[in-house]
Structure 1
Amino acid sequence: MAASSLLRSVLLAPSHSDLSSSSSHRFKVSFRFSNVLHFSLLKVWFWIWWKILFGSSENRVFSNASCDLKSKGSQSSIFGASIQCDSLVFSNASFDLKSKGLQSSIFGASIQCDSLVLQNCNARGIQPIKATATEIPLPTQKSRSTGKTRVGINGFGRIGRLVLRVATSRDDIDVVAINDPFIDAKYMAYMFKYDSTHGPFKGTIKILDDSTLEINGKQVNVVSKRDPAEIPWSDFGADYVIESSGVFTTVEKASSHLKGGAKKVIISAPSADAPMFVVGVNEKTYSPKMDIVSNASCTTNCLAPLAKVVHEEFGIVEGLMTTAVGKVLPELNGKLTGMAFRVPTPNVSVVDLTCRIKKNASYEDVKAAIKLASEGPLKGILGYTEEDVVSNDFVGDSRSSIFDAKAGIALSASFLKLVSWYDNEWGYSNRVLDLIEHMSLVGARN
């Protein structure tokens, strides 16, 4: 009330009788006081609105519109996992994660990083990385066993050389010796180093002498024996021998390696009488009593995972395809027949499976079942792509079979045409070593 009266008295114009010789001075003083009061009232007005809009100072933090959370662990809704960090700073709608380890459901692996900055995170969502047809090279495979499995290779052709390349990127396999009666150490080194399909070897290879190579700092013995029984595998400590010459493909012939001290022999080709295994399909039926086994053919390794999924989900009544898949999936024995064509491509092949299924289903249903399997129990063995791909896109792909969703078609609810790609060299070589690792683990448990 006093302030209001004072304001009215100040703002009232002076009367005519007060305009004397000193009236001019009094008017100036009055005018200055009025300005000061206006400014004070303006500050009060701003203060009242500030309290209304932003509340008390206890509920707000001012630091250039940013906050610093000193945290040992923070749950991220973006990555869907716990983020272990020392400092989490948000500033201008961006944040910096100084993390020891970040588990991301998008990348599917632990990401070691010092700093990861995501700007404008509230303006866009993070989308999963779209899978490409050609698989990104896998990191060095970690062994599930207690030590390395010592392996020998007989026959240094395409599969023999690529098995050795794959082995150099794994920590569970140690190739200790190579036998080939037609190639000396110098030519072995040359053929191993240069490959027109898969490119030059990324590691190092040296010729120490006529009987020794050094690959990535590890010595590999070189032998040149025609008779497998004369190869001294036990002298090199080779427990498992990969028979990749293409000559000794029966149990009787492959057993010659056992005379030289080998404990197990894996034939890298179909066999007329040896048990055949496809990793991801029937390797669990392996018994430690089996000394000679076959890794089947590269075609069987492509077809079997695909046929397994389709048969388990929808039931295959009969189909047209070429391979001995009946030995891997006995329930399909006699149901799949067909033919194969040789085409002028240096690498990569394709399976064309035409089959009649028991349970009616749309092509979308079949695609969904295959995709689910490729992301679950058959991950790393069976792949899935919906991209426009050609054979060269799969060179160097370590999976056994990559289903091409766009290439297939459903002729009816019970008649399907399915197409799946595979690198018949690189993918198959990976499975040979996977089978050896499985055999080694089973042997260790027993």
Structure 2
Amino acid sequence: MISKKIHVFINGFGRIGRHAARIILKDERFTLVGINDLYSFEQIGYLLKYDSIYGMLPYDIKVENSTLFIDKHPIRLFSEQNPEKLDIKSLNVDVLLQCSGTFLTLESNTSFIESGAKKVIVSAPPLDAMPTYIYGVNHQDYRGEPIISNSSCSANAIVPIFKIIEKYFGIDAAMMSMYHSYTVYQNLLDSKHYSKDIRRTRSATQNIIPLMSGAAEATAYFFPYLTEKLYAKSIRVPVPSTTLYDLSIKLIKQSSKEEVNQLLKKEINSHYHEILSYTQIIEESDKYIENPYSAVLNLSLTSVLEGDLLRISAWQDNEYGYAKRLVDIISAIA
């Protein structure tokens, strides 16, 4: 028997917001009560129904006035840029998913609480001291804060892996490369771009484009002693979905490939089975489209050099897997 459903509101209906909505619609614990974004309501309904990578939703979806109907279930639509003018008190919002890519501080999200949301989860690393929780890593430590961050897709993949390695071997330093699918913030064709990084002007579908990444800072939140000992870069590749993580870790205690893989499997099976998985099969990126895990470690690619230089590879659907963790953490704090 399902108890009272958790009312969810999504602010920012881009790739992550729409993935979260798709997951929520299939989960009886939740009901989606509202969406706020600045593009047309017609497009909101259309882009929720049809997705070039993940397919068509099996629901009847239509928009009438300011309401999105999904198999007759009404969802209020808003187009409000100023959160102070977003009145959602009547929707009894338990959790607002902040998926806009903006509002990355405690202060900037306070207006959403004042507008009627009981709690806010930000789908990005914060720019201030906002409490940060990753489901399966530290969500059990949640202390009832009304505004929290779920960090980044990369941190959700990397941090639990680092937790295991730190537990058994200690980490002296690490370098992280993400072979990352292109995003909407890149150009399809060579064109002007608002970014200070001139490489973003180039076509995402025609080039491998190395970009700086905030994954090191997001990961260091959970490992403060490594703040000056982490480096990350995001290598954008011409695929529309999934990421391959290539993690090079300097160990404090020496080990071997066999021992590392054995302990990774042990920890995943006993403590991280909700968010991590592993495989020893040689597979490619399309295998992991719509994969629900934060990371799937490919143990056949694990290597150890000179006993203390460890290399780990892991797959992630950086959109769907991350959205799944957002929905998981809703249930943990609501």
1:331, distance to aligned residue in structure 2 (A): 5.0
1:355 aligned onto 2:249: yes
Match of 1:199 among 55, 61, 66: 55
Partner amino acid for 2:5?
Answer: K
**TM-aligned CA distance change 1:366 to 1:226, over 3 Å:** same
The letter for the 1-side match of 2:131 is P
- Partner amino acid, structure 2, of 1:161: R
Aligned equivalent of 1:176, options 27, 33, 39:
33
Unaligned runs of 5+ in 1: 1-141, 441-446
| CA–CA separation in structure 1 for the residues paired with 2:67 and 2:98 | 20
- Report the RMSD for the aligned CA atoms in angstroms: 1.6
**CA shift digits 1:99-155 (9 cap, x unpaired):** xxxxxxxxxxxxxxxxxxxxxxxxxxxxxxxxxxxxxxxxxxx97xx4221110011
Q: Is the 8 A contact 2:136 2:274 kept in 1?
A: no
In structure 2, give the amino acid aligned to 1:163: A
Task: Provide the residue aligned with 2:175 in structure 1.
Answer: 320
List 4+ stretches of structure 1 deviating above 6 A: none
State the distance in 1 between where 2:48 and 2:74 align: 15
* Alpha-carbon distance in 1 for matches of 2:163, 2:152: 16
Q: Give the share of equivalent positions with the same residue, in percent.
A: 33
Q: 1:151 is matched with which residue?
A: 8
- Offset at 1:171? 1.5
Larger RCO (alpha carbons 8 Å, 6+ apart): 2
Alpha-carbon distance between aligned partners in 2 of 1:217 and 1:385, rounded to the nearest angstrom: 41
Q: Which residue of 2 aligns with 1:280?
A: 136
Q: 1:148 corresponds to which letter in structure 2? A: K
- Corresponding residue to 2:317 among 419, 423, 430: 423
Matched residue of 2:237: which SS?
coil
8 Å CA contact 2:261–2:302 kept in 1: the answer is no
Equivalent in 230, 236, 243 of residue 85 of structure 2: 230
1:218 and 2:73 matched: yes
Contact 1:155 1:243 in 2 (8 A): yes
Structure 1, residues 137-188: CA drift from partner, whole Å, max 9, x if none? xxxxx97xx422111001111011110000011121211000112222x211
Please, what TM-score do these two structures have when normalized by structure 2? 0.84
- 2:133 is paired with a residue of what secondary structure? coil
Taking structure 1 as the reference length, what is the TM-score of the superposition?
A: 0.64
Secondary structure at the counterpart of residue 406 of structure 1: helix
Displacement of 1:390 in angstroms is: 0.9
- Equivalent runs, 1:44-55 vs 2, <5 Å: none
Partner of 1:258: 113
Structure 2 matches for 1:18-417, cutoff 5 A?
146-184=3-41, 186-207=42-63, 209-273=64-128, 274-288=130-144, 290-321=145-176, 322-323=215-216, 324-417=218-311
Give the unaligned 5+ runs of structure 2: 177-214
- More deviation, 257-266/317-326: 317-326
Shift of 1:202: 2.5
- What is the letter of the counterpart of residue 266 of structure 1? I
For residues 90 and 32 of structure 2, the distance between their equivalents in structure 1, rounded to whole angstroms, comes to 13
1:436 to 319, 324, 330: 330
Structure 1 residue 312: deviation in Å? 0.8
Pairwise CA distance, 1:406 = 1.8
- In 1, Cα distance between equivalents of 2:232 and 2:99: 26
Amino acid at match of 2:143: S
Count of matched residue positions in the alignment of Structure 1 and Structure 2: 294
Contact kept? 1:161, 1:192, Cα under 8 Å:
yes
Helix, strand or coil at the partner of 1:340: strand
* Separation of aligned partners in 2, 1:423 and 1:215: 26
Measured after TM superposition, the shift of residue 332 of structure 1 is 4.0
Distance (Å, rounded) in 1 between the aligned partners of 2:226 and 2:71: 44
Deviates more, 1:421-430 or 1:374-383: 374-383
Secondary structure of the residue that 2:22 maps to in structure 1? helix
AA partner of residue 169 (structure 1) = K
For residues 397 and 338 of structure 1, the distance between their equivalents in structure 2, rounded to whole angstroms, comes to 23
In structure 1, give the amino acid aligned to 2:106. V
Q: Do the aligned partners of 2:96 and 2:120 also contact (CA within 8 Å) in 1?
A: yes
